[in-house]
Amino acid sequence: MTEVAKALRDKTAVCGVGLLLGNYPDRTALSLAVDAYQLALDDAGLKREDVDGIIQLSFGYDYDRFLEAVGTDVRYAYQGWSHGRFVAPMLQHAAMAVATGMARAVAIVHGRRRRPYGQTADHEMWRQGLGPHGESPAYGALGPVFGAAIAAQRYFHMYGGSNEDLAPIAMAFRRHARLNPVAVRRSPMSKEDYLNSRWIIEPLRLFDCCQNNDGGACLIITSAERARDCRKPPVYISGMQGVHAGRQFHNLTLPGLGVAQQEVYKYRPTKEDLHAYEMAGITHQDVDALITYDAFSPLVLFGLERFGFCGPGEAREFVKDGRIEIGGELPVNTSGGLLSEGHVIGWNLFIEAVRQLRHECGERQVRDAEIVQYGSFLGETVIFRR
């Protein structure tokens, strides 16, 4: 951890958020992004001319089409690929751009329509050596759920357990979603409902898999000083670290599970693996709520172990008995997450972190929340502070 990184602690903040979730059959991804952007501007009390940076994930329209639609010129623009693992790096780019003076305020904007995603004809499945998540289209394994399933199979083979150990995750997040008026899945879920849902790829059932919905999302990042003058309380960015990648990293699990070319071993994070805590000046015991990428329920197990909330193989017991629910030891994905709130690549997870730290979440509010961490299984994290 460098002194430069420590110096960035709390120098930038989220000042505005906007979110749309649901079914918008007559809308385009671009129009949903524009509306989410305006919601975030209104949330912050800013005008379009106050934003001079734009970041977005690709698919459907490019950043220049968005800027034409909103009638804005910027001095910082960046566009990346629409994978959930890249949402944290995008937010980190925005914070660094503001901290270094490359922009005064950066809007991260995304709009999506569900139809272009997740189809067997989707070109994404044929990139990165026949699939970025461990899927193998040439052999009939056509989606990310395949990679999540084989990772879960390896996990249960190493540590014991079965599909039934995933039920507490799906049930907890559904309970959270029932307290969230914008969540897409809000119907009650019992353990019997979960166990009666159809298999997708064993050990994953229907309710182990995320939503596929239309939506738009926006977060605006500016300097801490400027954020304090905005309409809503600032949510400071205290610590962060990027996606870890390489030969030992499969894109839907921890290192050490050996689901493709990786070695098989029991992963424990080192101090270097957790340097965002040092940047933020905290430990994981200080985290009031964890937000983690949950496109598939076993990813929650992997996220908990990646940041040392549990030891190897311990997460399947940790998630039981209400421990990850609101009021529990470590509330996780308090909006309902991608499994039940909805899916906007993951930006809605960050928006929930912001709203928790503003204490805006009503019945699902984590009491006295001061620190919320977004942290996922590939090591990427952003630590937010009230």
> DSSP characters for 292-342?
---SBTHHHHHHHHHTTSS-TT-HHHHTSTTTTSTTSSS-B-TT-HHHHT-
What confidence category does residue 138 fall into, taking pLDDT thresholds of 50, 70 and 90? low
Q: What pLDDT, on a 0 to 100 scale, did the predictor assign at position 114? A: 75
Residue 128 scores a pLDDT above 50: yes
Q: Which of 30, 13, 73 is nearest to 48 (CA)?
A: 73
Q: What pLDDT, on a 0 to 100 scale, did the predictor assign at position 118? A: 45
Choose the weakest-confidence range: 59-68, 182-191, 211-220, 301-310: 59-68
Range 357-362 average pLDDT: 98
Q: What pLDDT, on a 0 to 100 scale, did the predictor assign at position 323? A: 98
What confidence category does residue 137 fall into, taking pLDDT thresholds of 50, 70 and 90? low
Residue 335 scores a pLDDT above 70: yes
DSSP alpha helix (H) spans, 11-124: 29-44, 63-70, 87-99
Residue with tokens 């995750």: 169
Range 192-199 average pLDDT: 97
Residue 76 scores a pLDDT above 80: yes
Q: What pLDDT, on a 0 to 100 scale, did the predictor assign at position 5? A: 80
Q: What pLDDT, on a 0 to 100 scale, did the predictor assign at position 130? A: 59
Supply the mean pLDDT for the chain. Answer: 92
Choose the weakest-confidence range: 73-82, 116-125, 150-159, 287-296: 116-125
At the topology level of CATH, where does 3-117+209-385 sit? Peroxisomal Thiolase; Chain A, domain 1 (3.40.47)
Range 42-67 average pLDDT: 92
* 374, burial (CB in 10 Å: exposed 0-12, middle 13-18, buried 19+): buried
Q: What pLDDT, on a 0 to 100 scale, did the predictor assign at position 212? A: 85
Range 31-50 average pLDDT: 97
Token couple for 51 = 């934003």
Looking at the chain, the whole-number percentage of residues with pLDDT higher than 90 is 79
Residue 346 scores a pLDDT above 90: yes
What confidence category does residue 149 fall into, taking pLDDT thresholds of 50, 70 and 90? very high
What confidence category does residue 191 fall into, taking pLDDT thresholds of 50, 70 and 90? very high
d(CA 294, CA 74): 33
Residue 140 scores a pLDDT above 90: no
Q: What pLDDT, on a 0 to 100 scale, did the predictor assign at position 258? A: 80
d(CA 215, CA 206): 21
Residue 117 scores a pLDDT above 50: no
Looking at the chain, the whole-number percentage of residues with pLDDT higher than 70 is 92
The pLDDT tens digits for 241-277 are 999 988 888 778 899 988 777 889 999 999 999 999 9
Distances (CA, A) of 285 to 9, 282, 329, 373: 19, 8, 10, 11
The phi and psi torsions of 253 (rounded to 5 degrees) equal -165, 180
Range 322-331 average pLDDT: 98
